[in-house]
Amino acid sequence: MGIEYLYPEFEVHRNFDRCIKCRVCERQCSEGVHFYDAEDDIMRADESKCVDCQRCVTMCPTRALKIVKTENTFRPNHNWHQDTIEEIYRQATSGGALLSSMGNPKDYPSYWDRILLNASQVTNPSIDPLREPMETKVFLGKKPHDLEFDSHGEVISKLPPQIELELPVMFSAMSFGALSENAHKSLARAATACGTCYNTGEGGLNKSLYPYGPNTIVQVASGRFGVHEDYLKAGCAIEIKMGQGAKPGIGGHLPGRKIGPKVAETRMIPEGSDAISPAPHHDIYSIEDLRQLVYSLKEATNYEKPVIVKIAAVHNVAAIASGIARSGADIIAIDGFRGGTGAAPTRIRDNVGIPIELALAAVDQRLRDEKIRNDISIVVGGSIRSSADVVKAIALGADACYIGTAALIALGCHLCRQCQRGLCNWGIATQREDLCRRLNPDIGTEHLINLLTAWNNEIKEMMGGMGINSIEALRGNRLMLRGVGMTEKELEILGIKHAGE
Amino acid sequence: MLKKEGEIRIPSGCAISGIIDRTGRRSINGRTIVDSIAVMHDRSNGLGGGFAGYGIYPDYADSYAFHVFYDDLKARQETERYLDRYFDVVNMSRIPVRPNRNVVDAPLIWRYFVNPLFNRIQEDRGEIDEKKFIVDTVFYVNTYIDGAYIFSSGKNMGIFKGVGYPEDIGDFYKLEDYDAYCWTAHGRYPTNTPGWWGGCHPFALLDHSVVHNGEISSYDANRRYIEMFGYKCNLLTDTEVITYIIDYLKRKKGFDYEDIAKIIAAPFWEEIDRMPEKEARKMKLLRNTYSSLLITGPFSIICGFDHGLMALNDRLKLRSMVAGEKDEVVYIASEEAAIRRICPDIDGIWAPRGGEPIIVHASKEAM
């Protein structure tokens, strides 16, 4: 063995007193870690294959298993971390770009965790959501500039197309292909049950999910996979994906082995062919081209659907958002640098883009400075991890949030970050029939509904504590936020005060 | 040193009272409103009291009446230079006051009756709406002239306010010398203020004056919205932002007070769902379009305007407010005692529900 040998990152600890050799672990592991040694009548493990997905641990009936990070280590070095060295070994022996999945795991600051919420004391009452109405309904889309009434005071004006949500949380774009059919089904059903939306991602929409159309956002991305007239008309809104937080500036790649008959049909490409989305849209090289696409899509759908433009949070995000707000788009979705993905080049995932908190604050303020905030709604995603993150995002200025990773975790994802391999043991990010069956869409739906219900209740509790009984009075209400441990510049960008001020 | 209003956001509790004669006759002496608000002494803490009177300047009914606080002579000279350039100053004088031992540190308080000089204004500003120019003048003086503060800018109405208990402020300004068809009053219980006269209430812009009791939890959402339309929330007080919202919806958007109440204290969605279809459609449109002008948290307000007033509670009715009527005069106050003090034999005092406005118009015939 040469430098390509890397000691396994995880060790499989098996308690042989507990192990009954039922071989469940072996059957459950798509990576092929566990195997039965008949000669010695014992279960063994090839730890080099283990990705720490926790499937075997979860399924073991006798709790005989645990996965432990190995203690084997290179000589510690604060500059040259073990991963860094190992990645160089990998590249030196393969010549390839490194691939990763899910969101940026690096130790960058989380601004959500440095923002604290307010609560009422004495001078105004907190409101108990169990006793008083507490409203989390939101409408996404343009607001009319002026309302017109006839001489009898009857409204003449009509609302521009909007999305009506019962709570300010939607499932973000994840394609059928990247996700299994059962995962998609769970998202579609849960969105419908909760009065919110899920998003097809760039994978088209399988006919079987058309009935969930009123709660479906259909995406148009640079590869245009699965885009046709019925598809555009099937959803409640259309999202143009310009970028994604996990991989700003680059396109996508769904490998041919994930393109089975159903994925192929939905994407409208031959079975087994790679689905490659280019980095830019080849008809959008500037903002005025975006405007043409926005209006092409509106034209194709009789101006009945709001159009979302999704971008990654990058340095110049405020100016870009201003351009988008003037492009005719109804909603802008901004995806932070922590956003997840089914596959991204590691260097891009870990080094490109900016935190969503700062991007959101900058965009909201910029649109207000330009007096065009009412022309567009803001949706943010890219590591919204809890209802508290949602409340903070809305107080910073968002209309609603997208959650991707959190939804997948509710479906069973353990964040082993190996989606790109297509061997997801939880039946989420895979197309292998036997693995897909592991995700029961009825249970998946229930878990997602539970998650959204729990979050919505928590959002109401936090709002009530602040004395706010409607989510619109929270939107952009930055006085409800205080920073801890931030520099003046950070506070200035976020537009909030420091705790104690 | 304590920061003053505008440098820091200061929440306050309060007492409010309002009286209006539907006939439009100037039948209500200033003494009456002082007596009413004085009953609620314990709802204020001596850090602010004030009054708005409508119909008090019949001799100058067509001129804008500017009431101005000055810290010093320099501020006054600078302000008067500005006023002289753009206005015909019909009358100017110190506002008559009487010393009151509980009212201290009073600024210089001046009153100007002015008519805009349109040719001069147009030379500098191009075509401009008269009211817009008055608003711009108020913002300009209050923002850029150090030590000057215009706190009243309507026609045939005036604000009288200062640091102290409202009954002392009323005495200080000699309110018994004024007769009005409508009065509103405010006693303030701020939690933190250095006692700056400009920070007291009522807060007014043009004919709109607002007295408010409460602490709105939607403040920053409302502020950041309304600032998109040329308003500057200099004082960081609830009352200021509420005044601007009402001014925006009335003057710039042309809504009537019923609709304004529906926007700022909107019905809950579940109530809207139960409304008849037409009404529901209109309500949905209003609430959706002006979602950022919804005011949450406790408030009771009385908004005075030319020949009328509107009283409104937040939609959960988190602040007390009662109303009654006798002989064409409508009374509104934080507490029933404040009404009974000035109209002992009144019947049928009721508590309007949360979000349900009381809108009273006074006849213009009587003037």
For the stretch A345-354, pLDDT in tens is: 999 999 999 9
Which of A132, A144, A475 has the CB atom closest to B292's CB atom?
Answer: A475
The answer to whether the CB atoms of B294 and A467 lie below 8 A apart is: no
d(CA B73, CA B166): 27
Long-range CB contact pairs, A447-452, < 8 A, 24+? A447/A186, A447/A410, A447/A411, A447/A412, A448/A171, A448/A186, A448/A187, A448/A190, A448/A194, A448/A407, A448/A410, A448/A411, A449/A190, A449/A193, A449/A194, A450/A410, A451/A406, A451/A407, A451/A410, A452/A167, A452/A169, A452/A190, A452/A194, A452/A196
Residue A113 scores a pLDDT above 90:
yes
Measured between beta carbons, the chain A residues lying within 8 angstroms of B231 are none
Distance from CA of A464 to the nearest CA of B (A): 10
Q: Report the predicted TM-score, pTM, of the whole model to 2 decimal places.
A: 0.92
- What's phi and psi for A149, nearest 5 deg? -125, 150
Q: Which of residues 292 through 321 in chain B touch A, CB cutoff 8 A?
A: 292, 294-298, 315-316, 318
Q: Which of residues 7 through 66 in chain B touch A, CB cutoff 8 A?
A: 9, 11-13
pLDDT at A77: 95
Measured between beta carbons, the chain A residues lying within 8 angstroms of B191 are 123
Q: Which of A172-186, B7-21, B117-131 has the lowest mean pLDDT?
A: B7-21
* Overall average pLDDT of the A191-205 stretch: 96
pLDDT digits (tens, 9 = 90+) for A27-75: 999 999 999 999 999 999 999 999 999 999 999 999 999 999 999 999 9
The answer to whether the CB atoms of A476 and B281 lie below 8 A apart is: no
- Find the chain A residues whose C-beta atoms sit closer than 8 A to any C-beta of B: 120, 123-125, 127, 132-133, 135, 137, 139, 143-144, 146-147, 154-155, 157, 159, 162, 368, 371, 373-374, 466-470, 472-480
Long-range CB contact pairs, B96-102, < 8 A, 24+? B96/B173, B96/B174, B96/B177, B97/B172, B97/B173, B97/B174, B98/B171, B98/B172, B98/B174, B99/B172, B100/B164, B100/B168, B100/B171, B100/B172, B102/B46, B102/B164, B102/B165, B102/B168
pLDDT at B349: 94
pLDDT at B13: 66
Q: Are A186 and A445 in contact (CB under 8 A)?
A: yes
pLDDT at A255: 85
Distance from CA of A325 to the nearest CA of B (A): 15
Measured between beta carbons, the chain B residues lying within 8 angstroms of A478 are 220, 224
Residue A218 scores a pLDDT above 80:
yes
* Overall average pLDDT of the A285-295 stretch: 93
pLDDT at B166: 95
Measured between beta carbons, the chain A residues lying within 8 angstroms of B241 are none
Measured between beta carbons, the chain A residues lying within 8 angstroms of B314 are none
pLDDT digits (tens, 9 = 90+) for B209-263: 999 988 899 999 999 999 999 898 877 788 889 999 999 999 999 999 999 999 9
Q: In terms of CA atoms, which chain A residue is nearest residue B314?
A: A469
Tell whether B107 is within 8 A of chain A (Cβ): no
CB pairs under 8 A between A and B: 107
Q: Residues 6 or more apart from B14 whose CB is under 8 A from it?
A: B43, B44, B186, B187, B188, B189, B201, B211, B212, B213, B214, B334
d(CA A343, CA A326): 32
Tell whether B192 is within 8 A of chain A (Cβ): no
d(CA B124, CA B133): 11
Q: Which of A28, A472, A352 is nearest to B269 (CA)?
A: A472
Q: In terms of CA atoms, which chain A residue is nearest residue B218?
A: A473
Q: In terms of CA atoms, which chain A residue is nearest residue B259?
A: A153
- Residue in this structure with the two tokens 């769902």, named with its chain if needed: B273
Residue B47 scores a pLDDT above 90:
no
Interstrand relation of A42-45 and A115-117 (parallel, antiparallel or unpaired) = unpaired
Which of B47, B192, B217 to mutate against chain A (most A CBs within 10 Å)?
A: B217
Residue A110 scores a pLDDT above 60:
yes
- Residue A328 — pLDDT band, cuts 50, 70, 90? very high
Q: In terms of CA atoms, which chain A residue is nearest residue B8?
A: A501
Which of A479, A481, A498 to mutate against chain B (most B CBs within 10 Å)?
A: A479
Distance from CA of A370 to the nearest CA of B (A): 8
pLDDT averaged over chain A?
A: 95
Measured between beta carbons, the chain A residues lying within 8 angstroms of B218 are 468, 473-474, 477
pLDDT at B191: 66
pLDDT digits (tens, 9 = 90+) for B155-207: 999 999 999 999 999 999 999 999 999 999 999 887 666 678 988 899 999 99
pLDDT digits (tens, 9 = 90+) for A451-469: 999 999 999 999 999 999 9
Residue A1 scores a pLDDT above 70:
no
For residue A120, give the amino acid letter.
S
pLDDT digits (tens, 9 = 90+) for A117-155: 999 998 888 999 999 999 999 999 999 988 888 888 788
Residue B11 scores a pLDDT above 80:
no
pLDDT digits (tens, 9 = 90+) for A226-273: 999 999 999 999 999 999 999 999 988 888 888 999 999 999 999 999
pLDDT at A154: 80
Residue B367 scores a pLDDT above 90:
no
The answer to whether the CB atoms of A480 and B228 lie below 8 A apart is: no
The answer to whether the CB atoms of A473 and B217 lie below 8 A apart is: yes
pLDDT at B1: 57
Measured between beta carbons, the chain A residues lying within 8 angstroms of B232 are none
Measured between beta carbons, the chain B residues lying within 8 angstroms of A480 are 217, 220
The answer to whether the CB atoms of B297 and A468 lie below 8 A apart is: yes
Q: In terms of CA atoms, which chain A residue is nearest residue B9?
A: A479
Which of B292, B316, B318 has the CB atom closest to A472's CB atom?
Answer: B292
Distance from CA of A455 to the nearest CA of B (A): 20
Q: Residues 6 or more apart from A425 whose CB is under 8 A from it?
A: A28, A29, A30, A31, A53, A55, A435, A438
Mutual orientation of helices A441-465 and A387-396 as an angle, nearest 10°? 50
Q: In terms of CA atoms, which chain A residue is nearest residue B284?
A: A159
The answer to whether the CB atoms of A466 and B191 lie below 8 A apart is: no
The answer to whether the CB atoms of A123 and B13 lie below 8 A apart is: yes
Residue A435 scores a pLDDT above 80:
yes
Q: In terms of CA atoms, which chain A residue is nearest residue B278?
A: A154
pLDDT digits (tens, 9 = 90+) for A382-424: 999 999 999 999 999 999 999 999 999 999 999 999 998 999 9
Measured between beta carbons, the chain B residues lying within 8 angstroms of A368 are 224, 227-228
pLDDT at B121: 87
Distance from CA of B249 to the nearest CA of A (A): 11
Q: Where are the alpha helices (DSSP H) in A35-110?
A: 55-59, 82-94
Tokens of A78: 């604060």
The answer to whether the CB atoms of A143 and B289 lie below 8 A apart is: yes
Catalytic residues of B: 14
